[in-house]
Amino acid sequence: MLPFASEGYPFVLVPALAGILAFLFGAPALAVVFWVVMAACVAFFRDPARASTAPPDVVLAPADGKVLSVGGAPPAMAARGLPQQVSIFMSPANVHVNRAPISGTAREVRHTPGAKLPAFRDKASELNEHSFVLLEGERGAIAYKQIAGSLARRVVCDLSVGESVLRGQRVGLIKFGSRVDLFLPGHALVDVTVGQRTRAGVTPIARLATAGGA
């Protein structure tokens, strides 16, 4: 059976039941439309198992998708000691379950309402609805934002302040498209390029080198 995120059940059951009713009331063509929608939702909310053998100092991708940008973080994040940013754009065809980039403790978790700009726009990180998580690990802190896009209706963050997570652990999802921004310290050695495809909990994004570079 296809691994499935529980958040998707309403999106699957409603068109499934609507299709059955349409068929029973003599509208088979409409029933097929509902069942196609159901199948699309099953595919969208798939939640495959993931594992990585990367060394402990490696930061893993928090999302499936394509690297949209690699560069400097906004001044507010740089001031917090996280001057580097990697943005991953998630199309509707991607798995939308998000995973912890590092093992650590959630020191900050907050949700910010906002706009529904297309997720690939630069201002989406600041203006769109998003959840922000700051994780503190053995080699320092990193942060990430789950950002809603023009199609996304809800950002789901499963973490609470003080909760500990393991790298690659499921930490939430974004319903119907969008983007995840990853904020890294200055000593992180980024190992991805724009346009590169990523898999949550599998693809190495950066290495958290120590102060001495080891």
Q: Is 77 helix (H, G, I), strand (E, B) or coil?
A: helix
Of the listed 87, 125, 131, 178, which one is catalytic? 178
Is there a catalytic annotation at residue 52?
no
| Tokens representing residue 184 in the block | 């890294």
Q: How many C-beta atoms lie closer than 10 Å to residue 159's C-beta?
A: 19
Give me the residues paired with residue 97 across strands.
Answer: 173
Q: Are 107 and 125 in contact (CB under 8 A)?
A: no
How far apart are the C-alpha atoms of 11 and 135, rounded to whole Å?
31
Report how many helices (DSSP H) and strands (DSSP E) the chain contains, helices first.
4, 14
How far apart are the C-alpha atoms of 214 and 209, rounded to whole Å?
6
Query: Where do the DSSP E strands lie in the chain?
Result: 58-60, 65-72, 84-90, 97-99, 104-112, 130-137, 140-148, 154-157, 164-165, 170-175, 178-184, 188-190, 197-198, 204-208
Catalogue the active-site residues. 178
